[in-house]
């Protein structure tokens, strides 16, 4: 497909709306992570794959000469995704803030360099009618975007359909950004199939996350009502165990194992301390006997003179 020529006003307006949404969509998630000081249920792999997808997505948008807002969109998306990924390293993996931040910034610089190199390399052949490299770039971008939304489904499966750790304001804004961006492509003179597929993948997979949590809320409405009436946190209700990960019994078993290990360690330490103490006492007794023996010799009869 040839690069886009004249861009209609409607495409620019819709693309701008989509870009505004995608420039801020991860901010609620980043804020939520910071307030909670944890990222349980938010897969770090999701954020890293999204950040990586911004590279081919940006190349595709720039070489295809999409409207400017959509060209800017992958850059903002990648920066925010790397920021959220760094938070997962800090809160879930106990990385130091500066270490995680420098790593994320370094990877961002590498991604930017790769994108620039690909744009300079592929723009010439594409304008001469060589389409397959750009098609491949578009496919890679779509695969990475889709792959990034697969890990949340594993987290959802662990909790029997309950969505934890993903901020729904972020998810709503992200869905709207993908929707308006898709409409911007529709409004262009020529609809770009691969670009549209990328947005459609996001719309469908994120709709699945919404639907899963909605069914969870419907299934547990009576349980949540009873928890509220008894002033008991939902996660502490016995019937809610299957919606919690890790399971309470697994946590208890882990704590019990740790306690046993500490007891065993304490026993070993006590035994070692006892042995050292006994050895010290034996050494003291030996020293005392030597001293008494020396005293006897010193006080004994000297040989008589002839």
**DSSP letter, residue 302:** P
Q: What is the dihedral of CA 205, 182, 196, 210, to 10 degrees?
A: 0
User: Where along the chain do its domains lie?
Assistant: 9-221, 246-282
Percent of the residues in the chain that have a pLDDT greater than 70, as a whole number: 78
- Give the pair of three-digit tokens for residue 36: 């909670």
> How confident is the model over 259-270, as pLDDT tens digits?
555 555 554 445
Residue 280 confidence (pLDDT) above 50 = yes
| Range among 100-114, 227-241, 283-297 rated most confident | 100-114
Residue 246 preceded by cis peptide, ω within 30: yes
Vertex 249 angle, CA 94 and 151, to 5°:
50
Max CA pair span of the chain:
134
Q: What distance, in Å, lies between the first and last C-alpha atoms of the chain? A: 128
* Whole-structure pTM value: 0.74
Closest CA to 212 of 255, 170, 160, 249: 160
Report pLDDT for 268.
46
Task: Give the model's pLDDT for residue 32.
Answer: 96
Among residues of the chain, what percentage have pLDDT more than 90? 50
SS3 244: coil
What local confidence, expressed as pLDDT, does residue 306 receive? 38
Q: List the structure tokens of 143.
A: 């695969």
| Residue 35 predicted with pLDDT over 90 | yes
Which of the four pLDDT bands, split at 50, 70 and 90, describes residue 8? confident
């Amino acid at each position: 497909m040839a690069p886009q020529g004249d861009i209609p006003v409607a495409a620019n307006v819709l693309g701008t709306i989509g870009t505004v949404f995608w420039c801020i969509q991860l901010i609620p998630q980043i804020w939520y992570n910071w307030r909670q000081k944890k990222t349980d249920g938010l897969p770090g792999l999701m954020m890293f794959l999204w950040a990586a997808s911004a590279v081919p997505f940006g190349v595709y948008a720039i070489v295809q000469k999409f409207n400017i807002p959509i060209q800017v969109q992958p850059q903002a998306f990648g920066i925010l995704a790397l920021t959220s990924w760094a938070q997962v390293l800090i809160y879930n993996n106990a990385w130091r803030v500066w270490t995680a931040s420098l790593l994320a910034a370094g990877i961002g610089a590498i991604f930017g360099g790769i994108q620039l190199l690909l744009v300079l390399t592929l723009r010439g052949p594409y304008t001469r009618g060589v389409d397959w490299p750009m098609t491949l770039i578009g496919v890679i971008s779509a695969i990475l975007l889709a792959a990034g939304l697969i890990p949340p489904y594993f987290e959802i499966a662990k909790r029997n359909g309950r969505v934890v750790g993903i901020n729904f304001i972020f998810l709503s804004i992200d869905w709207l950004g993908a929707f308006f961006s898709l409409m911007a492509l529709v409004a262009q003179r020529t609809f770009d199939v691969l670009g549209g597929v990328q947005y459609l993948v996001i719309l469908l997979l994120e709709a699945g996350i919404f639907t899963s949590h909605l069914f969870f809320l419907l299934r547990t409405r009576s349980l949540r009502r009873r928890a509220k009436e008894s002033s008991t946190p939902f996660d502490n209700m016995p019937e809610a165990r299957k919606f919690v990960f890790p399971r309470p019994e697994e946590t208890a078993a882990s704590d019990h194992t740790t306690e046993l290990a500490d007891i065993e360690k304490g026993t070993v330490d006590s035994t070692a301390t006892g042995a050292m103490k006994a050895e010290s006492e034996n050494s003291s007794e030996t020293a005392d006997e030597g001293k008494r023996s020396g005293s006897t010799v010193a006080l004994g009869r000297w040989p008589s003179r002839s």
